[in-house]
Amino acid sequence: MCQKKSKREITVKLYAFLAEEVGKDVFKVNVNERSTVRALIAEIDCKTHGKLSELILLDPDTLKPQFSLVLDGDNSHAVGLDTKIKTASELLIFPPFGGGSVPKKHRKGTPRNIKFALITVSTSRYQAILEGKEVEDKSAEIAKGLIEKMNYKILTHETIPDDGAKIKEMIKKLKDADILIFMGGTGISPDDQTPEILRPLFEKELSAFSHVFTLLSFQDVGSASILSRSVAGIYRERLLVALPGAPSAVKLGLYKVILPEAGHILKIARGL
């Protein structure tokens, strides 16, 4: 239920895709000293039919909201959902990933009904499925959760072996997908070949993606990040992405890099 009017207001500012999707970047919310950040978000939900909560991604492992909160310009301490507003006059909400610096005019008209296809590239999983075994695919589950949280559609999830012909077959078969996410086959073992298959198909490679992903991975896993060969590029106005098969890598690549820019990438690639 929306709060009743109280003695003072606090200004809440949304940044990056949060503001674009909600349709407004500044809100005035009634508060008192006992009000929490959670209450502010609930109040904005009352005014936007729950849009803000839908857009705030949840960490698949902890189910905690993943965004940056700043009260009165002070980002020197952690602010969480249960932090009390007290005497603060302004709350800033940032997605914890890229996109904040891109002018809103460049994001105007970006596709919203984006269709994803998920492809697990793993010979061992593929063989297990052929043998009728029950196969857990945590990476795919994480990807599904993150994509659906953005209100994008998942057309299918396929599992294929580390086979170049199978990878090309998937690209041809899944022609209705705007973005194809290949999970696995990016390492340096003799069987890993996903990047080698995708790169020759790229009409425009997003070369910075590999650098950004490696940098973010280094912050998590250190020097082991050099073993990953993630790639992304445009093929016939679609985005093809190859991520390592580890759940943490899929989460990192989608959540911090691909999902924030998905619509923007497709808009530019299609000349919209």
- In tens, the pLDDT along 196-222 reads 999 999 999 999 999 999 998 998 888
- pLDDT one-digit tens code per residue, 214-272: 998 998 888 999 998 999 999 999 999 999 999 999 999 998 899 888 998 999 999 97
* CATH code assigned at 16: 3.10.20.30
Is residue 46 included in any domain, yes or no? yes
Percent of the chain with pLDDT strictly greater than 90: 50
pLDDT score of 65? 54
Task: Identify whether residues 83 and 217 lie together within a single domain.
Answer: no
The DSSP secondary-structure symbol of 74 reads B
Question: Which among 195, 236, 197 is positioned nearest to 213, based on CA atoms?
Answer: 195
Task: Identify whether residues 209 and 252 lie together within a single domain.
Answer: yes
126 pLDDT higher than 90: yes
Is residue 99 included in any domain, yes or no? no
- Report the predicted TM-score, pTM, of the whole model to 2 decimal places: 0.67
Last residue of a domain, one of 70, 94, 118: 94
- Three-state DSSP at 132 gives coil
Task: Identify whether residues 32 and 142 lie together within a single domain.
Answer: no
Is residue 101 included in any domain, yes or no? no
CA 15 – CA 204 distance, rounded (Å): 29
Is residue 127 included in any domain, yes or no? yes
Q: Where are the alpha helices (DSSP H) in the chain?
A: 17-22, 37-48, 51-55, 104-107, 123-130, 138-149, 164-173, 194-198, 207-221, 247-253, 259-269
Task: Identify whether residues 64 and 23 lie together within a single domain.
Answer: yes
Contact present, 37 and 80 (Cβ < 8 Å): yes
Which of 36-45, 98-107, 136-145 is most confident?
136-145
175: left (phi over 0), alpha (psi -120 to 50) or beta: alpha
Q: Which residue's structure tokens are 């005035």?
A: 28
- pLDDT one-digit tens code per residue, 154-181: 999 999 999 999 999 999 999 999 999 9
Task: Identify whether residues 166 and 39 lie together within a single domain.
Answer: no
Q: How confident is the model at residue 43 (pLDDT cuts 50, 70, 90)?
A: confident
Residues 6 or more apart whose Cβ sits within 8 Å of residue 246: 139
Percent of the chain with pLDDT strictly greater than 70: 83
* CATH code assigned at 123: 3.40.980.10
Task: Identify whether residues 79 and 119 lie together within a single domain.
Answer: no
Task: Identify whether residues 246 and 188 lie together within a single domain.
Answer: yes
CA 234: distance to chain centroid? 18
Question: Which among 52, 56, 58, 57 is positioned nearest to 22, based on CA atoms?
Answer: 52
pLDDT score of 227? 92
Last residue of a domain, one of 59, 94, 129: 94
Q: In which domain, by residue range, is 141 found?
A: 106-269
* Burial bucket for residue 101 (CB in 10 Å: 0-12, 13-18, 19+): exposed
DSSP-derived pairing of the beta strands 153-160 and 115-121: parallel
Q: How many domains does the chain have?
A: 2
Q: How many residues does the chain have?
A: 272
Is residue 2 included in any domain, yes or no? no
| Cβ neighbours, 10 Å, residue 6 | 14
Is residue 3 included in any domain, yes or no? no
Last residue of a domain, one of 31, 66, 94: 94
Task: Identify whether residues 16 and 136 lie together within a single domain.
Answer: no
pLDDT score of 66? 58
Terminal CA-CA length for the chain: 40
Is residue 144 included in any domain, yes or no? yes
